[in-house]
Structures are given as structure tokens and as C-alpha cells.
Amino acid sequence: MKRKITLKHIARELDVSISTVSKALKNSPEISKDTREKVQAFARLYNYKPNNIAISLKNKRTRNIGVIIPDIVHHFFTTVFRGIEHYANDRGYNVIVCVSDESFDKEVVNMELLANGSIDGFIMALSAETQQKQDFNHLKELGEQGIPLVLFDRVTSEVACDKVIIDDQAAAQMATQRLIDSGKKRIALFTTESFLNVSAKREAGYRRALEKSGLGVDDNLIIRLPHQFEEETLSAAFFESQEFDAVLCVNEIFAIRAMRIAQELQRDIPGEISFIGFTDGLLSKYANPGLTAIAQHGEEMGRVAAELLIDRVEEEDDLEQELPPYRTCIIPVSLIERESTQLAPSKN
Amino acid sequence: MKRKITLKHIARELDVSISTVSKALKNSPEISKDTREKVQAFARLYNYKPNNIAISLKNKRTRNIGVIIPDIVHHFFTTVFRGIEHYANDRGYNVIVCVSDESFDKEVVNMELLANGSIDGFIMALSAETQQKQDFNHLKELGEQGIPLVLFDRVTSEVACDKVIIDDQAAAQMATQRLIDSGKKRIALFTTESFLNVSAKREAGYRRALEKSGLGVDDNLIIRLPHQFEEETLSAAFFESQEFDAVLCVNEIFAIRAMRIAQELQRDIPGEISFIGFTDGLLSKYANPGLTAIAQHGEEMGRVAAELLIDRVEEEDDLEQELPPYRTCIIPVSLIERESTQLAPSKN
DNA sequence: GGAGATCACGAAAACGTTTTCGTGTTAATA
DNA sequence: TATTAACACGAAAACGTTTTCGTGATCTCC
């Protein structure tokens, strides 16, 4: 087992000083051509690679970024993650992931662990519990410590930092409007408890579209399902007690389950009932019939988030160059039409 | 912006030495009760947290583990990842993820980057390209450098290390046998190019079941689809040119697509054709009809992989305690029955 | 009251780099 | 030939810890 070789070994072997080796490897003009070549040849021969940890300690920069997400087995988050990872890698950064499991405590613990030198900045989406508690002290502290933070998707106006979101309200309004345009009159909304920021905004957009079009909102058509979805919660009963001709769902699972119940009740899709779901994931694509979905372009979101973060991390190196103000990027959504709807062509 | 406080700051402030502070914080009996309490109070007040990087440099242990997977937007891999992450966190480790995108080069580059001090060991599944090239030098080098490695799912016998797999052959054989037991006589196999280790093994299991039961293998019933699945590849033509009454698919997507074609051709599922797919993911669960699937228990796989790795990492600390031999853990699969089959009760 | 033990603490090396600031040698210049 | 400049390199500090070892001061015991 050949141990890793260090500058010190090379120096001793070649009978020069550590500083000379270090400079020679960086091609410093301070070192003679002869010595440089000798050192570089030796280094290559023994496959010398500098120790990342030592460099991090010296530079106070790790080239690691911390990503904290509520769940990893979740199509949207993994999509964002892929965007982050690709962009970060291209700029020479590695990604450390922690999963909060929607728990406030795990979020705090994980962040504190990483904040002590392991990373140069954070990218995260708030856990459900954090949004419920509205406790953001751990995030505010980052600011005081000078650790950059980018929030995506699940954000809060309580903390000042860069953000990347979609315009949930506009997206929901657009989708609802498209259903209205296609002739639907009674549109239901399947959503979650409203402490989730995104759900609240989507509901607002849904309401707005109905009001603007003069159809008005019937609160009986809005049903709120628990965040941790249980199969029985969404039952056929609702389909039989209420009349509606379209459904907007704040996520894929709700939509898929709802479609299945409709099929069991022999309702025609999209004729009798149309369905649109948020988040264009695997389920939407492979459902039968295919589910019309609002694509959030997670990969693009991740790319932008990583770019904002790394830019800020690297700007901080230039001491006292004043930092740009915090930005909020809005990633445009798009509506992917499939068989669960029969929409008129878009006006745009 | 209050900068992070260090041992040196505390020492200066309290007019003691750095060593005293360090020991006091660790409750060393060498330090008087008075001094300990004074130091600890001060540290708490200023929220002192030791710098991870400095500790890593000192201990030559980072408490990070590197995970390299071919794709993150992939249900099975994220499931494994969740198992790794949870277990690692419980033991005080963080996880750095890199995605190889099924590319040999990215796999090598990412590993080299992390191997220079950033991590204590690797957990990985081979990229498709690596399996195709059969080039494992980057993995063998890890061994020489004394960096522990655990391979899962996509493994190779070429490198000596701990491994976690499912018994793909036995699983495929079991599933095929169950189809036979339920009265099916002509069972098709939808698989990928065979350079993927797992596909090859699953095919072997399929063949074995058919041969043992005396049905024999009809090579016309085996179709090989490209790994990067294109919609058109799997067409109705096959359904019309061949007669078969069941299909075993090496992944979910193939199965879902196949079911859909069968439905379009008005074939009754499971009456006329039954379907079983490998990997029990979201699609299997939410398909209509639900897809009977072979569950690989990714989370358990991840847990075991992380345990093997961390055990080995920590054993290496005890110098010259001889290391245990490499182990291969086989995670049992289970068959999740849904509506795409009508199986007789299992014999076990 | 002196020998040895115990106590409480500090100095310094070490981990592997980078970087600043010498310094001795050689070459160019007046 | 004396002065300076350029050159090529080394010593040492620094990043923030941990840990070994040394050392004064106090205490115990005969």
C-alpha cells in the first residue's frame, strides 16, 4: 500500500526545499527551468496530487457547496440537484448533500455541521416543518457568519439572500385559465395544507383565474389533502358528491390518484373531466392517459441557483469589492400538454 | 459580520494557552475545574465550533464519504442514496455525491478529485461505459492508496472490495417461475444490451426457469432495447408478430411502455398478457393497472453499503489490527404483486 | 525540611499546503 | 574593481486543530 506522496517527500528526495517544490509545480518563474522540470517529472512519476484538505485550510475555501433538500427520493428535487451538480462540477466544485426529511431539527443540525468549514455556501429548499414553524434563525445566522445562501422553490421572505423560484401563482392561474378557455366551468383544486408556501400561491392563482373569468370560486371544489399522502384520503366519495369537469392538482401524485378514481367511476378523460398536475415528472409522462403537466424545469433552476451561489462565493474573495444586492430569479414554467386535457391552442 | 471564533481567540481573551483551551473543551482532567468551566462558558457564549477542515487535516479523517452514481434522477439510485445518507448521518458522516452520467471519464475525474483527501471512502455503482470498457484501473488504485471502496448493484468481479448486490439471477428466475406457475407458457423478456451486468444475470435467471420447467427458451421472445430508451423502439409490431402471454422486463419503464401498447391493442391485462417489472418504483405503484414488480429494497442496500464502508474506514484506524476479508452482501428481493399479474400463491 | 509525587498548565511539533521575505551566488554595469 | 541587479532558492509563518512532553508550583510523607 503506497501512501500518498506529499511536497515534503518530493523535497527530501530531490534535496530541495518544500517551497521550491511548491513553486516549481506551479511553474513559478522564480524557479530555474532545470529545477522545475526535475520536480515536475518526479511529481508525475509518483503521481503527486495536492491534498485538498490542506489547501482548504490554507485558502479558507473548500470548493464544496452544501445542498440541503427535504427529500431525495423526489423527482423534482433530484432534477434540481442534477442542475446544481452539473454546473458546480463544471466550475470545479463538489456537492455535499444532506436530507432534512422535512424536519426542522435535522435541517438545523445538518447545517451547523456543514457550516463549520466544510462548505463555502448553501443551496437549499426549506423543510415543511421549518415553513410551519416560521423559525429561520439558523438561516439568518449564516448571513452573520458571511456564508452565502441560495434558497430555491421553498423560500421565505424572512431571510435576505439570493432566491430561485417559479412564479407559482402565475403558473396556476395560467393553467386554470387554459382549462377555462377549453370550456370547463367547474374546476376543482386538489391541494395540500396551506402552510406550504407553494401551495398557498398556487391556490391564489387558481382563485384569481376563476374570479377574473367571472366563474367565481366554489370552496366546495377545493380539497386539502395531508402532505404525507395516504391512499384512502382521496376517495371516490368526493367525485360522487360534487360536480366538476376539471381538476388542477398541486402535485403529480394527487393527479394520478385522482385520474385513477375517475377511471374506476367510468368517467371519460378528458371529455367529462380534464386533469392538470404540477410538476412534470415520470408519472405524468408515463401515466395512461398522459397527464398534462406544468413543468418547473428543475434542472434549469438548479443551474441558476448554483451560478448565483458560486458567483457570490467567489466575489467574496475580492475583499471589499462591494457585493451586488440579493437577487430573485424566476424560472418560467411551461405547460406540457398530454391526453388528460383537450386544450384550445394557447393565445400566446 | 462576526467571523468564526477559534481556539486562538479564546486563548488570547482568557489569557491561557491554546492547548489549555483545547483540553478544557474536551473536559480533560488535566485542566482544573475552574479553568474548564471558565473556558466552556466563554466558548458557549461565543458559540465556538471547531473547524472541521483543521480537524480533518490533523486526524487524516474527514468523516465524509464519497458516493458516485450513474444518475441521480433515477428512483432506484435515490433510494439507495437515502439509505446511505441516513446511516452515514447517524454515524456522524457526511455524504459527497458525484454523478458519472454513465460516463467513464466523468467517473474517473470525479474519483480522483475526491480521492485527494476529501473523503474517507467510496460507495459507488459502475457507470454503463465503465462496464462496457471493462477498465477498472481507477478502482484498483484506490486499493493501493488504502482508500476503502464499496460497490453496489453494478459491480465487477475484477476489483477486490466489499460489495452489496441483489441476486439478479435468482430474482429473475423466481419471477419467471411464478409466471409459469400461474399457467403462462410463452413468456417474453424485454431487456437491454447485455454488457450491463445486471441485465445479463437477469436473462440467465429467465432462461434457467424456462429450461427447468421444460418450456424451453424461444429466442424470438427476447428483445433487447437500447439502454437510452427511445419511445419508438418498442413498437406494436412485436406484439403482432409474436405470440406470448407474459412479459418480464428488466426495468420499470420498459414494462410501463409495454403495458400501454398492450392496452392500445385491446389485450386484456393480466388475462391475455401478464407483466412483471424489475425495480419497484413510483411508476409500478401508480400505473394503471398496477405493475407487479420485483422490489430491490434500495434503501436497505444503501444502509448495508454504508455500514460496510464505515466499519472498514474505522477499522483502519487501529493500525495493524488485521482487516477482515472482503464481503459480498446479498440483499433479498421481494415480489410485490399488483394487478398486472394473477399469480398463484407462492410456494414458500 | 527535603525527596518525590501530583497538579495545572504551556511550548512546540505535527497535519500539507501557500506565500512572503530574506539571502547567497552569479552576472551585468560603471 | 566595486556596486548593483537579477537570479535561484530556502526559512518560516500561517491556516486551526490535537497531542506529547516538559516544567514550575504545590502537596504529601517520613
CATH of the domain at A254: 3.40.50.2300
Question: CB B241: neighbour CB atoms within 10 A?
Answer: 8
Size of interface A-B (CB pairs under 8 A): 144
List, for residues B221-246, the tens digit of each pLDDT value: 999 988 665 556 667 788 888 999 99
DSSP state of A154: S
With residue A232 as reference, give the H or E element that holds it: none
Question: How far, in Å, are A284, A321, B162, B296 from residue B148 at the CA level?
Answer: 41, 44, 9, 24
Q: Is residue A123 part of a domain?
A: yes
Tell me if B100 is assigned to some domain.
yes
Q: Do B144 and B237 fall into the same domain?
A: no
Measuring from the CA of residue B3 to each C1' atom, give the nucleotide at the shortest distance: D16
Amino acid symbol at B227: H
Contact B273, B221 (CB under 8 A): no
pLDDT value of position A321: 62
For residues A113 and A182, what is the distance between their CA atoms, to the nearest angstrom? 52
Q: Do A49 and B116 touch (CB under 8 A)?
A: yes
Query: Which residues lie below 8 Å from residue B57, measured CB to CB, with a gap of 6+?
Result: A51, A53, A54, A57
Q: Are residues B307 and B199 in the same domain?
A: no
Helix (H, G, I), strand (E, B) or coil at B157: coil
The rounded distance, in Å, linking the Cα atoms of A174 and A292 is 13
Question: Which set of grid coordinates corresponds to residue A93?
Answer: 466544485
For chain B, the average pLDDT equals 93
For the CA of B29 and the C1' of D30, the distance in angstroms is 29
Determine whether the interchain pair B94/A98 forms a contact, defined as Cβ–Cβ distance below 8 Å: yes
Same domain, B129 and B221: no
C-alpha cell at B183: 399457467
CB contact under 8 Å between A78 and B73, yes or no, is yes
**Claim to verify: residue A237 and residue A304 sit in the same structural domain:** no
Per-residue pLDDT, B225: 87
Give the span between the Cα atoms of B55 and A113, in whole angstroms: 13
Within a domain: A324: yes
Same domain, B98 and B116: yes
Signed CA dihedral, A137, A138, A143, A149: sign only? negative
Contact residues, chain B, for A50 at CB < 8 Å: 116
Distance (Å, rounded) from C-alpha B96 to C-alpha B120? Answer: 11
Residue type, A36: R
In this complex, the answer to whether residue A3 has its CB under 7 A from any atom of chain D, a nucleic strand, is no
Phi, psi (degrees; rounded to nearest 5) at B266: 65, 25
Per DSSP, B287 falls in state S
B313 vs chain A: nearest CA distance in angstroms? 15
Structure confidence at residue A194 (pLDDT): 67
DSSP-derived 3-state class of residue A152:
strand
Indicate the Cα dihedral angle A228, A232, A235, A237, nearest 10°: -120
**Residue A175 — very low, low, confident or very high, per pLDDT cuts 50/70/90?**
very high
Residue A236 has pLDDT above 80, yes or no: no
Where in the sequence is the domain holding B172, given as residue range(s)? Answer: 168-296
What is the rounded CA–CA span in Å between residue A48 and residue A42?
A: 8
Q: Smallest CA–C1' separation from A58: which nucleotide?
A: D15
Residue of B255 and B226 predicted with greater confidence: B255
What mean pLDDT value characterizes chain A?
A: 93
- Establish whether the CB of A20 is closer than 7 Å to any nucleic acid atom in strand D: yes
Closest residue on chain A to B66 (Cα): A96
**Region B75-100: what's the mean pLDDT?**
97
> Nearest by CB to B52, which of A52, A110, A116?
A116
Q: Is residue B258 part of a domain?
A: yes
Neighbours of A216 (CB within 10 A): 8
Distance A199 CA to D2 C1' (A): 86
Q: What is the average pLDDT across B269-274?
A: 95
What lies within 8 Å, CB to CB, of B133 at 6+ separation is: B104
Nearest-angstrom CA–CA distance, A222 and A243: 12
Residue nearest to nucleotide D9 (CA to C1'): A20
> How many angstroms separate the CA atoms of B183 and B206, rounded?
16
Taking Cα atoms as reference points, which of A127, A124, A122 lies closest to residue A104? A127
Q: pLDDT grade, residue B343 (50/70/90)? A: confident
Question: Residue B270, preceding bond cis, omega within 30 degrees?
Answer: yes
Residue B130 confidence class, pLDDT cut points 50, 70, 90: very high
Residues 6+ away with beta carbon under 8 Å from A22: A7
Classify residue B89: in a domain, yes or no. Answer: yes
Cα-only R_g, chain A: 26
Residue B147 and residue B88 share a domain: yes
CA of residue B19 to C1' of nucleotide D23, angstroms: 15
- Do residues A196 and A256 share a domain? yes
* Phi and psi torsions of B330, nearest 5°: -110, 120
d(CA B180, CA A83): 45
Given a cut of 80, whether residue A71 has pLDDT beyond it is yes
Identify which of B224, B215, B216, B159 has the alpha carbon closest to the alpha carbon of residue B191.
B224
Q: Is the CB of B236 under 7 A from strand D?
A: no
Q: What is the pLDDT of residue B35?
A: 95
Residues of B in contact with A115 (CB under 8 A): 49
Residue B103: C-alpha distances to residues A45, B76, B100, B114, B160 (Å): 27, 19, 5, 17, 22
pLDDT of residue B195: 72
Distance (Å) from the C-alpha of residue A114 to the closest C-alpha of chain B?
A: 8
Ramachandran area for residue B123 (φ above 0: left; ψ -120 to 50: alpha; else beta): beta
If asked whether residues A302 and A155 sit together in one domain, one would say yes
pLDDT above 70 for A279: yes
In a domain, B55, yes or no: no
Question: What local confidence, expressed as pLDDT, does residue B238 receive?
Answer: 84
* pLDDT at res. B321: 61
B72 has pLDDT over 60:
yes
CB A121: neighbour CB atoms within 10 A?
26
Q: Helix B168-181 and helix B197-212: axis angle, to 10°?
A: 40
Tell whether A276 is covered by a domain.
yes
What pLDDT does residue B3 have?
A: 76
Is the N-terminal amide bond of A50 cis, ω within 30° of 0? no
Statement to judge: residues A186 and A221 lie in one domain: yes
SS3 A158: coil
Which positions on chain D have an atom < 7 Å from some protein CB?
Answer: 7-12, 14-21
**B125, B94 contact by CB (below 8 A):** no
**Nearest of B281, B89, B4, B149 to residue A97 by alpha carbon:** B89
Q: Give whole-number Cα distances, B88 to A109, A165, B78, B303, in Å.
A: 14, 31, 15, 8
**Torsion, Cα of A246, A252, A256, A258 (10° steps):** -50
**Chain segment B294-331, per-residue pLDDT in tens:** 999 999 999 999 999 999 999 887 655 667 899 999 99
> Do B83 and B156 belong together in one domain?
yes
For residue B140, give how far its alpha carbon lies from the nearest alpha carbon of chain A (Å).
11
Q: Domain check: are A145 and A250 in the same one?
A: no
Q: How many CB atoms lie within 10 A of CB B320?
A: 5
What are B14-62's pLDDT values in tens digits? 999 999 999 999 999 999 999 999 999 999 999 999 999 999 999 999 9
Q: At residue B17, what is the residue type?
A: S
Q: Do B145 and A81 touch (CB under 8 A)?
A: no
Strands (E), A286-336: 292-295, 328-331, 334-336
> What is the mean pLDDT of the segment spanning B256-261?
92
pLDDT of A67: 98
List strands edge to edge, sheet with A292-295. A222-225, A187-192, A246-249, A274-278, A292-295, A334-336
Q: State yes or no: pLDDT of A347 exceeds 80.
A: no
What is the distance between the alpha carbons of residues A146 and B48, in angstroms, rounded to a whole number? 16
Whether residue A1 is predicted with pLDDT greater than 80 in this model: the reply is no
Examine the domain organization and report whether A302 and A314 are in the same domain: yes
Q: What is the pLDDT of residue B29?
A: 93
Residues of B in contact with A261 (CB under 8 A): none
Within-domain flag for B102: yes
> Across the interface, which of A94, A145, A259 has its CB nearest the CB of B96?
A94
Task: For chain A, give the percent of residues with pLDDT over 90.
Answer: 85
Which strand (E) or helix (H) includes residue A128?
helix A128-133
pLDDT at B348: 55
Whether residue B51 and residue A288 make contact (CB cut-off 8 A), yes or no, is no
- How many Å apart are CA A168 and CA A200, to the nearest integer? 9
**Structural domains in chain B (count):** 3
Please tell me the predicted confidence (pLDDT) of residue A61: 94
Q: Do B293 and B256 meet the contact criterion of CB atoms below 8 Å apart?
A: no
- A158 or B315: whose pLDDT is higher? A158
